[in-house]
Chains A and B, each alone.
Chain A
Amino acid sequence: AQTVTQSQPEMSVQEAETVTLSCTYDTSESDYYLFWYKQPPSRQMILVIRQEAYKQQNATENRFSVNFQKAAKSFSLKISDSQLGDAAMYFCSESETSGSRLTFGEGTQLTVNP
């Protein structure tokens, strides 16, 4: 069974600083997909970044980047130049085949301090 673990229930960062959110997962598949989603108080789950496990290169999207360590089954999210609008609950998730069910972690609540 897939499991996704986020060991940091809460994190805080100063505006303009950098923060890293941790995620580990467990899967028996060699091909799978990893995602970070952001859920602000409005509740809508918004895709932040996606990583295909068969790709060696770490995904980046503007200020957001990941550190994907396949052997360690680790998938951390780095947010650079943090902005007030980055404050939200962040969920790490995995799917074992493209488009199949997403398994989510418990989330990390990120606070951005002005």
Chain B
Amino acid sequence: ETGVTQSPTHLIKTRGQQVTLRCSSQSGHNTVSWYQQALGQGPQFIFQYYREEENGRGNFPPRFSGLQFPNYSSELNVNALELDDSALYLCASSLRRGGPETQYFGPGTRLLVL
């Protein structure tokens, strides 16, 4: 069973640029959630995708957008990068079929905006 993977592991961008982060869900999982974790803080929910549709969004501006593909992998896109976007971005996958559901996390992508 393959776990959640994310790419790249590290990324450096400059203010105003755009970035795309990628996540491959755990084998058999159909739901992907994205979180932003600033240094020294707990993760904050960005949004969730289920069956290629956005299924819930946290308090993040529209320049944070995402996609989920038919194979349930996902992308997080951030436009017009700001210094405060520097953080660890975590992807989590889960299997939605009714009943208790647990999210399993990937290793994260560390984004630094200069």
- Interface flag for B81 (CB, 8 Å): no
Count the B residues whose beta carbon is within 8 Å of the partner chain — how many?
27
User: Are A103 and B45 in contact (CB-based, < 8 A)?
Assistant: yes
Given the complex of chains A and B, what is the CA–CA distance between A46 and B102 in angstroms? 11
Given the complex of chains A and B, what is the CA–CA distance between A113 and B54 in angstroms? 44
Contact partners of B108 in chain A: CB under 8 A: 43-45
User: Are A107 and B42 in contact (CB-based, < 8 A)?
Assistant: yes
- Candidate in B41, B42, B43, B45 with the most chain A CB atoms within 10 angstroms: B42
Task: Name which residue of chain B comes closest to A52, CB basis.
Answer: B100
Per-position contact with A for B71-114: 1 when CB-CB < 8 Å, else 0? 00000000000000000101010101001111111111010000
Q: Known contacts A43-B108, A45-B90, A101-B56; is A50 also within 8 Å of B42 by CB?
A: no
- Interface flag for A11 (CB, 8 Å): no
**Which of B43, B101, B106, B110 touches A99 (beta carbons < 8 Å)?**
B101
Contact partners of A43 in chain B: CB under 8 A: 88, 107-108, 110
Q: Known contacts A43-B108, A44-B108; is A104 also within 8 Å of B42 by CB?
A: yes
User: Are B105 and A99 in contact (CB-based, < 8 A)?
Assistant: no
Given the complex of chains A and B, what is the CA–CA distance between A52 and B107 in angstroms? 26
Chain A residues 78-114 with CB under 8 Å of chain B are: 91, 93, 98-107
User: Are A101 and B58 in contact (CB-based, < 8 A)?
Assistant: yes
Task: Name which residue of chain A comes closest to B44, CB basis.
Answer: A104
- Interface flag for B33 (CB, 8 Å): yes
Given the complex of chains A and B, what is the CA–CA distance between A101 and B48 in angstroms? 8
- Interface flag for B31 (CB, 8 Å): yes
Complex A-B: 16 CB contacts under 8 Å: A43-B88, A43-B107, A43-B108, A44-B108, A45-B90, A45-B105, A91-B43, A93-B42, A101-B45, A101-B48, A101-B56, A102-B43, A102-B45, A105-B42, A106-B41, A107-B42
Other 8 A-B pairs with CB < 8 A, given A45-B108, A101-B33, A107-B42? A35-B102, A44-B105, A45-B105, A47-B102, A50-B100, A99-B101, A106-B41, A106-B42
